């Protein structure tokens, strides 16, 4: 379906379009996690499970990617299989890559930044992923700061993630988000989670007790005219968390190897994820899948709460 008077490059699937038209809850899902974040075929299995989890919690999943130069909101099974099978051959597409991939009619996997852009175009306000990009360790040398952070500062989508991964410089990532006015909200926690582990040693700005709390804060932010998103950080469920000391050692080793091999720029995150999956004998991948499913469930609850809130406010305005 070509959305009403929407962007000419955008295709919204019929299922997502009718949910949006009826004000029903929708959760955006990214595709770089499929193509560059996990190996085939578990990436495809996980993408399907994530969609099923969103449905089970009362929302419609909208996987976002670029297929043949079209911005897709609601990628079908065939599209997900393509992204998963081709993996790193697919262009990892962030804000700066979008115009080129679209112009050339290529396939592109959207990062958190690009997924936020496309979600916002379609009117989707809640997005679930695993981890966001951030300020990289060694930023003094590399100047590597993910475009995800600037997108969070300007595009109105709440991003549910498992905190900030310790392949990144967590402290500097938080400082950057503060400077750019992005709230970091802990879901039922005061501690910022660090992806595979529940506590990074850093705090969050605010703690939310419920999906309703998060939905209210989103609505207030945007009613105030404060553009930009929000990071909603949910810790990996206790039973799936990995040992912090052990993971830190594997992450340090992977970063050393990356530096000695001269891997930089957009290649860094995919390299680190696959190296850590190898050195942990797949345990990091299992944990990654568990936390993504957990985030999908929470994002669906937030999307439901946000839609209910909008219905209530509209009801009041009409009465």
Binds ligand PSU (CB under 6 A): choice among 57, 72, 165, 198 = 165
| Span of 10-18, 65-73, 88-96, 137-145 interacting with Mn ion by CB under 5 A | 137-145
When asked if residue 130 is in the footprint of ligand PSU (CB under 6 A), the reply is yes
What's the burial of 261, exposed, middle or buried (CB within 10 Å: 0-12/13-18/19+)? exposed
Size of the site for Mn ion (CB under 5 A): 2
- In the complex with ligand PSU, which residue's Cβ is closer, 19 or 38? 38
When asked if residue 169 is in the footprint of Mn ion (CB under 5 A), the reply is no
Report the partner that residue 111 touches, choosing among ligand PSU, Mn ion, none (CB closer than 5 to 8 A by kind).
Answer: ligand PSU
- In the complex with ligand PSU, which residue's Cβ is closer, 3 or 235? 235
Closest CA to 82 of 67, 104, 63: 67
- In the complex with Mn ion, which residue's Cβ is closer, 17 or 152? 152
Q: Which residues pair with 159 in a beta bridge?
A: 127, 231
Question: Is residue 30 annotated as part of the catalytic site, yes or no?
Answer: yes
When asked if residue 111 is in the footprint of ligand PSU (CB under 6 A), the reply is yes
Cα 31 from Cα 128, distance rounded (Å): 11
Binds ligand PSU (CB under 6 A): choice among 1, 147, 217, 263 = 147
- Of 72, 165, 221, 266, the catalytic one is 165
Looking at residues 287 to 316 of the shown chain, list those that interact with ligand PSU (rule: CB under 6 A).
Answer: none
Q: Is the dihedral of CA 55, 57, 58, 60 positive or negative?
A: negative
CA distances from 264 to 32, 88, 268, 271, 284 (A): 17, 15, 5, 10, 22
Size of the site for ligand PSU (CB under 6 A): 18
Nearest approach, Cβ of residue 35 and ligand PSU (Å): 9
Report the partner that residue 269 touches, choosing among Mn ion, ligand PSU, none (CB closer than 5 to 8 A by kind).
Answer: ligand PSU
- Of 30, 151, 221, 301, the catalytic one is 30
Q: Dihedral, CA atoms, 240, 244, 249, 252, nearest 10 degrees?
A: 90
Closest CA to 289 of 114, 113, 42: 42
Is residue 194 within 8 A of residue 165, CB to CB? The reply is yes
Strand 158-161 with 126-128, pairing: parallel
Extract the tokens encoding 108: 């592109």
- In the complex with Mn ion, which residue's Cβ is closer, 147 or 219? 147
When asked if residue 151 is in the footprint of ligand PSU (CB under 6 A), the reply is no
Task: Convert residues 28-67 into a mask of x (bound to ligand PSU by CB under 6 A) and - (unbound).
Answer: --x-xx--xx------------------------------
Cα 65 from Cα 93, distance rounded (Å): 9
Binds Mn ion (CB under 5 A): choice among 11, 30, 97, 144 = 144
Question: Is residue 89 annotated as part of the catalytic site, yes or no?
Answer: no
Cα 86 from Cα 35, distance rounded (Å): 7
DSSP for 222-289, written as a single string: HHTT--S-EEEE-PPPGGGPPPHHHHHHHHHHHHHHHHHTT--GGGHHHHHHHHHHHHTTTHHHHHHH
Active-site residues, by number, are: 30, 165
Q: Under the rule (CB under 6 A), what is the footprint of ligand PSU?
A: 30, 32-33, 36-37, 94, 111-112, 130-131, 133, 146-148, 165, 266, 269, 273
Q: Under the rule (CB under 5 A), what is the footprint of Mn ion?
A: 144, 146
């Amino acid at each position: 379906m070509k959305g009403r008077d929407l962007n000419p490059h955008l295709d919204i699937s019929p299922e997502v379009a009718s949910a949006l038209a009826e004000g029903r809850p929708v959760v955006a899902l990214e595709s770089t996690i499929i193509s560059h974040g996990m190996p085939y075929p578990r990436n495809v299995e996980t993408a399907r499970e994530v969609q099923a989890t969103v449905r089970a919690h009362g929302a419609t999943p909208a996987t976002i990617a670029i297929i043949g130069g079209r911005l897709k909101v609601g990628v079908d099974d065939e599209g997900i299989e393509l992204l998963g099978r081709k993996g790193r051959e697919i262009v990892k597409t962030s804000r700066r890559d979008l115009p080129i991939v679209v112009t050339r009619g290529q396939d592109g996997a959207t990062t958190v930044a690009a997924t936020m852009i496309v979600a916002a175009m379609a009117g989707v306000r809640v997005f679930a992923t695993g981890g966001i990009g951030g300020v990289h360790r060694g930023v003094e040398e590399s100047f590597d700061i993910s475009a995800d952070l600037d997108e969070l500062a300007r595009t109105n989508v709440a991003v549910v993630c498992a905190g900030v991964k310790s392949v990144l410089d967590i402290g500097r990532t938080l400082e950057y988000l503060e400077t750019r006015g992005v709230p970091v909200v802990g879901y039922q926690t005061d501690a910022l989670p660090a992806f595979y582990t529940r506590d990074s040693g850093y705090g969050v700005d605010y703690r939310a007790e419920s999906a309703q709390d998060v939905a209210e804060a989103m609505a207030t932010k945007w009613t105030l005219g404060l553009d930009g998103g929000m990071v909603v950080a949910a810790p990996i469920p206790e039973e799936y968390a990995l040992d912090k000391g052990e993971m830190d050692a594997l992450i340090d080793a992977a970063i050393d190897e990356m530096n000695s091999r001269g891997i930089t720029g957009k290649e860094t995150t995919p390299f680190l994820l696959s190296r850590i999956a190898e050195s942990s004998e797949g345990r990091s991948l299992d944990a990654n899948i568990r936390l993504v499913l957990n985030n999908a469930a929470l994002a669906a609850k937030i999307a439901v709460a946000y839609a209910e809130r909008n219905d209530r406010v509209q009801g009041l305005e009409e009465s």
